[in-house]
Structures are given as structure tokens and as C-alpha cells.
A and B are shown apart, each in its own frame.
Chain A
Amino acid sequence: MAHHTNREADITHDPGTVLSARNVVKRFGALTVLDGVSLDVHRQEVVVMIGRSGSGKTTFLRCLNHLESIDSGEVLVNGRRVGYREETDQPVEESPSKIAVARRNIGFVFQHFNLFAHLSALDNITAAPIKVLGLPKNEAQERARDLLKRVGLADKADARPSTLSGGEKQRVAIARALAMRPELMLFDEPTSALDPEMVGEVLAVMKELATEGMTMIVVSHEMSFARSVADRLVMFDSGHIVEQGPPERLITAPQHDRTRSFLRLLTDGA
């Protein structure tokens, strides 16, 4: 069957690995924001990333689905490169339509929800399945209603984003990402823009998702969520992963000074 191997696929790819970031470097002008970050995430694994503000967590997530270009290194999802193709040993940026195809498989949940303001909750969820995947409208709506039920918003199908609370908006945003049936979900501080009383409802949805076996990378400083849901905690500092491991170990016995001081900051601050 070797001759059926897709040439675009990496032959060293382990089918258990959903995401593989290798030596990702990202600069904004003279500022190096990611200084060679490598991370492998296995199927059904939940990785929680922490690190102080400005350490590059958001940028790293954005590089994973090519919302940001990268300066060197590579990102593979299911063994396929995201954003670039190899051409005479020089990586060349893919066309916008190829990049769009690669993103279908990667759900992204933003800190500020970014719901489509002119569409109802239901239409927010069905837009991409209909227009991108070509799903028939009634099928997409059925899928959307199921998802709304799952996130506890079955009665909000017709609501405009402006009439929803922050927690409701974020749950719609999660449902919208899930409607594409992605294999990998990225969450960038999904609860940090919420009022405290709404954090729980969003984390509950994410926890259930993790239980169902979704592969997730979550930037979050909700340590109780990290303890109970994460398989691995990753500490970011100045564009590097300085430490990673099981959350319990990292929290109780951090090896790195930066991790120790950051965790102290978290427990003191919050």
C-alpha cells in the first residue's frame, strides 16, 4: 500500500499525533515572540497552556491554524503541513483557499467570542457548515440545534449575539467551532473576558467536550480546570516552553523558577 501514501503527508507521522509543532519561530519586526516552540499533542489529549501576559501563548495558538504566518519551523495537523508547502526545499505559503481547507479541521475559540453580529445564534453555527462544507441547510440546522442543546442554549437559537450574556456568547462560539466537526480545538483564554459568575458554565461545556475525547489545547489560568481536565500543563515564558508535565506535578513541584513565581502570582492574584 506504500504507493498509496499521500505525498503531502509526512511519512514519519504517528497516527496518534494530531498536532505536531516543530521549532516554530515567529517574529514581529525585531521582536521574537516564539523562539523555536515544539509541541506534540496526541489524539484525545487535553493540553492547558499557562504563562504570563505577553509570553506568546496567543501567538502560538494563532500560528497553529495560520492566523499568523511563521518565520521558520513547521506545524502539522494529522501529518499535513498547515499554511505552507515544500517547494525546492523552500517553504512557500499556500494559497488562501488551501489554507482555508486546512483550517476546517481546527476549531478556534477566541477570548472575545467574535460571533457574527448580524446573524442569530443558529445562523452563526450553520454559516460555515453550509457555505464551507456544503451541508444542506436543514441538516446544518439540525446539527446546530443539537449543539445548542449540548451547550445548554436550546432556547437561544434565534437570539442575536447582542442580546446574549458573555457566557452565552462563548458557548455559542464553542458550538459554532464544533459544527465543523474539527479534530482539534484551540481555546485562547475562553473565560478571561467573562464575569466571574459565567466562567463555570463555559468551563463545564469544555470539560464535557474533553470527557467525550476531543483533542484540545487550552490557554487558561483556571487552575482547577487544569487540575481536573488537563492531561498536560505547559508553561510558556518569553516565547519558550520552559516546563511541561502532568498538572499535579507542575503545580505542586515546579522545576523551573519561572513556573514557580508565575504560579505564586496566580494563587496570590486570584
Chain B
Amino acid sequence: MILDAGTGVTFDWSFFWGHILEPSSAWLTGLWRTIYISVISQALGVVLGFLITIVRRSRLAPLRAVGSFYVWVVRGTPLLVQLVLVYNGLAATGIYKFSDITVGDVTVLGVVQAAILTLAVHEGAYMSEIIRASLDAVDHGQIEAAAALGMTPSLTMRIIHIPQAVRIVIPPLGNEFNLMMKNTTLLSVIGLQEMFLTAQDINSTTFKTFEIFAVAGCYYLFLTTVWGFVQRGIERKLGDPSMRVPRQSALTRLTGIGSRSTVRVEH
């Protein structure tokens, strides 16, 4: 069915719904890559961010400088530039070429390795800022109370500091993952066949530009929406009653209409 309003506007609904309801296997492969690359990169980014935070809180000034330098460089340059440098740049200068690795039945493409590495390194810098702010947001009086009870700094970190910082970190971490899923579209420039590049390929053979990118938009919207619900669930589960996110209607959750601030931190 072709919608023609007589003004030359055409939108191929059957093409659109066909791709939404019965995605090709190439599309599903792209979708799957988008998902697992996002999840793995985010997880590594959190770990890396935590390590950088520790380094930046070190008692040794040179270590702190290394951490700050890392954050400065990574946050100060575009992800697109970082991707091309890591995947194409390193190979072009002969420093390192990412090649496929096969472990058992699983083959990890070189380009996927480069993508995950770059996204994780990129995300690590942002997570470090978020984790640092969350640690700082924990009431200092409680840290002192722990010290006064004879807890060592590392014990205090484990049982008082981190458990409370985690609650503060969850909402911004959720936003980061939302951004991460959308940022995977940039992987198309290094030729990684994720969902966006699959859409581009379909576009170049069908010229149904609006339709196919509308399909892609719908898929990303679906991913971020599902994640939004998951994030709410985590926030509600982790919070203590005084910090708990109030239950909201589905409309509020989806659109933000009528929502208040998402975290309250008690001091």
C-alpha cells in the first residue's frame, strides 16, 4: 500500500511494517550485535571507570595525574575519532591490527574487538566522573563514624561507602547505557555490521530512506524503552525506603510527564 496525498509524499507502509514485524536475519544479527556490544562495553566501562576512580583517589600524585590525563583526553575527543584511530589508524601505521579470534565455536571479529575496546575506554572516562561524584555524595560523617568504630579505610569503602554510592550511581549509569546503545550507530564508520549499517545497506538497494531509518528508529526506541523499565526496577529494588523512586504510571515512565527528581539523597 502506498500512501499518496497527492503532494508527492509517499510512505511505503507495507515495507515499513514488513521490516518491523518480520525483520530479516541480517537485521536480527545487527540488532543482536547492537545489544551485546552495548552490554559488554558498558560493563567493561563501569569496571574501568571504577579503577580510574581508585587511581584518581590514590595517595600518589603521579598516579592521580595519570588518571586525570586519561579522563581529560578521552572526554576531550570525539568517539568517532577514537573509533577510527583505534581500528583504522593503528592498523594503517602498523602498530596493531585487530584480527578475528576464534574460541571454540565462537568467532569474535577484529572490528568487534576494536569496537568494544574503544567504547569501553570511552565509557570508562565518563563512568569515572560519575563514580567519583557518587562516592563524594555519600555523607562524610558516616565515613568518619566508620573510622571511629575502628574500620580500616578499605573496609569502610566496602561496607559503608560503596553500598551507598551504588544507589546514587544507578540513575546516571542508566542514562549512560541509554547513550551507549545509541552510540553504537557510530560503529558503522568502521564497517561494523550493526543495526544502523544494516539499515544503510538496505537503503542503498531499496532507496526507501525514510521507511528503513524509521524502522531503525523504532528498534532503538524499543531498546531504550525496555531498558528504561529495567532501570526503574533496579532503582526501586536497591533504594532504601527513604530514597526509593516513587511508583509511576506507564505514561510518566515513558514520557517523563509528571515525574519529579529521580533520586533523593539523604544527608
For residue B168, give the distance in angstroms from its CB to the closest CB of chain A.
11
From known contacts A114-B141, A117-B240, A118-B164, infer whether A131 and B148 are also in contact, taking CB-CB under 8 Å.
no
B35 in contact (CB, < 8 A): no
Can you offer 24 A-B residue contacts whose CB atoms are under 8 A? A67-B147, A96-B153, A100-B152, A103-B148, A103-B149, A113-B141, A114-B139, A114-B144, A115-B142, A116-B142, A116-B146, A117-B139, A117-B240, A118-B163, A118-B240, A128-B149, A128-B150, A128-B151, A131-B155, A131-B159, A132-B149, A160-B240, A162-B242, A162-B266
Indicate if A110 sits at the interface (CB-CB under 8 A): yes
In the complex, chain A residues whose CB is within 8 Å of the CB of B51: none
Is there an interface contact between B145 and A114, defined as CB atoms closer than 8 Å? yes
For residue B54, CB closer than 8 A to chain A, the reply is no
Is A219 positioned at the interface, with any CB of B under 8 Å from its CB? no
Supposing A118-B164, A160-B240 touch, asked if A180 and B149 sit within 8 A by C-beta, the answer is yes
Is B160 interfacial (CB 8 A cutoff)? yes
Chain A contact residue count (CB 8 A cutoff): 30
| A129 and chain B: residue at smallest CB distance | B149
Q: A112-B141, A116-B160, A127-B159 are in contact. Are A106 and B167 (CB under 8 A)?
A: no
Q: Does residue A141 face the partner (Cβ distance < 8 Å to B)?
A: no
Interface residues in chain A, defined as those with a beta carbon under 8 Å from any beta carbon in chain B: 65, 67, 96-97, 100-101, 103-104, 106-108, 110, 112-118, 127-128, 131-132, 160, 162-163, 173, 176-177, 180
**Distance between A60 CB and nearest chain B CB, rounded to angstroms:** 15
Interface string of B224-267 (1 = CB under 8 A from A): 00000000000000001110000000000000000000000010
What is the CB-to-nearest-CB distance from B186 to chain A, in angstroms, rounded to a whole number?
38
Q: A104-B150, A128-B149, A163-B242 are in contact. Are A67 and B144 (CB under 8 A)?
A: yes
Residues on B with beta carbons closer than 8 Å to the beta carbon of A112? 141
Complexed CA–CA distance, A251 and B110 (Å): 82
Picked from B139, B147, B149, B160, the residue with its CB within 8 Å of the CB of A176 is: B149
Distance, CA A162 to CA B153, complexed state (A): 25
Contacts of B167 in A (CB 8 A): 118
Given A118-B167, A128-B146, A131-B159, output 9 extra A-B contacts at Cβ < 8 Å: A65-B148, A100-B150, A110-B145, A114-B141, A114-B142, A117-B240, A132-B149, A163-B242, A173-B145
How many angstroms between the C-alpha atoms of A117 and B152 in the bound complex?
19
Cβ of A96 and Cβ of B148 under 8 Å apart?
A: no
Cβ distance A85 to chain B, nearest Cβ, rounded Å: 17
- In Å, the complex CA distance between A115 and B241 comes to 16
Chain B: minimal CB distance from A175 (Å)? 12
Closest to A120 in B: B240
Specify the main secondary structure of chain B where it touches its partner.
Answer: helix
Specify the chain A residue showing the minimal Cβ separation from B145.
Answer: A114
Measured in the bound complex, the distance between the Cα atoms of B149 and A65 in whole Å is 10
The CA-CA distance from A257 to B230 in the complex, in Å, is: 67
The distance from the CB of B164 to the nearest CB of chain A, in whole angstroms, is 5
- Minimum distance in angstroms from B34 CB to a CB of chain A: 35
Query: Could you say which interface size class chain B belongs to?
Result: 20 to 34
B153 nearest CB across to chain A (Å)? 5
The residue on B at minimum CB distance from A98 is B152
Contacting pair A180 B142 (CB below 8 A): no
What CA separation (Å) do A132 and B155 show in the bound complex?
9
Instruction: Type the 1/0 row for B151-181, where 1 means its CB is closer than 8 Å to any CB of A.
Output: 1110100011001100100000000000000
Bound-state CA distance A163–B242 (Å) is 8
> Within the assembled complex, what's the spacing in Å between the Cα atoms of A131 and B150?
10
Within B97-149, the residues touching A (CB, 8 Å) are 139, 141-142, 144-149
Chain A hits for B141, CB < 8 A: 110, 112-114
* Cβ-defined partner of B144 (8 Å) among A104, A110, A115: A110
Of the candidates B151, B159, B241, the one whose C-beta lies within 8 Å of that of A100 is: B151
Most buried by A among B142, B155, B240: B142
Q: How far is the CA of A115 from the CA of B139 in the complex (A)?
A: 10
Q: Do the beta carbons of B240 and A132 come within 8 Å of each other?
A: no
Residues of A within 8 A of B241 (CB): 160, 162-163
* B residues near A116, Cβ cutoff 8 Å: 142, 145-146, 160
User: Which 6 residue pairs across A and B have the least CB separation, nearest first?
Assistant: A162-B242, A104-B150, A114-B145, A114-B141, A128-B149, A108-B148
- Chain B residues, CB < 8 A from A100: 147, 150-152
Answer whether A117 and B142 are a contact pair too, CB < 8 Å, given A131-B155, A131-B159, A162-B266. yes
- B153's nearest neighbour on chain A, judged by CB, is A96
- Shortest Cβ gap from A152 to chain B (Å): 21
A65–B146 Cα distance when bound, in Å, is: 12
**What's the minimum C-beta distance from A62 to chain B, rounded to whole angstroms?**
9
B166 to chain A: closest CB distance in Å?
9
Contacts of B163 in A (CB 8 A): 118
CA distance A173 to B142 in the complex (A): 11
A173 and B145 CA atoms in complex are apart in Å by 9
Complex: A12 Cα to B77 Cα, angstroms: 65
Residues of A within 8 A of B153 (CB): 96
